[in-house]
C-alpha cells in the first residue's frame, strides 16, 4: 500500500487583499494582550483582530440606537 504524500504548500503565501494597521501599546497593555491571547490559544495578532472587530460590531450597534 502506497503512502499518500502531504499536500505541497507554497513557501510564500499569496498576498491577501487586506489593509494593515499598527497598534502601539504600553508595556502593561502589551502584557495584558499577551496573557489574554495565550489563555485563548491565539496569537497576539489574532486576538487583537478579534477584539477590534468585536468592538466595531458594538460601536455599529450603538449608531443605530442613537
57 domain-assigned: yes
pLDDT of residue 21: 92
Decide if 55 contacts 40 (C-beta within 8 A).
Answer: no
pTM of the model: 0.66
48 domain-assigned: yes
Domain hosting 50: range is: 27-65
- 27-59 burial string, b = 16+ CB within 10 Å, else e? eeeeeebeeebeeeeeeeeebbeeeeeeeeeee
pLDDT digits (tens, 9 = 90+) for 3-16: 677 777 667 767 77
20 domain-assigned: no
Q: Is the pLDDT of residue 66 over 50?
A: no
43 domain-assigned: yes
pLDDT digits (tens, 9 = 90+) for 15-37: 778 899 999 999 999 999 999 99
Task: Say which DSSP state 65 is in.
Answer: H
32 domain-assigned: yes
Domain count, the chain: 1
Amino acid at each position: 500500500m502506497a503512502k499518500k504524500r502531504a499536500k505541497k504548500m507554497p513557501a510564500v503565501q499569496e498576498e491577501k487583499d487586506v489593509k494593515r494597521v499598527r497598534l502601539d501599546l504600553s508595556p502593561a497593555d502589551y502584557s495584558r494582550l499577551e496573557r489574554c491571547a495565550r489563555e485563548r490559544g491565539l496569537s497576539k495578532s489574532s486576538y487583537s483582530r478579534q477584539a477590534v472587530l468585536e468592538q466595531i460590531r458594538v460601536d455599529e450597534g450603538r449608531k443605530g440606537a442613537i
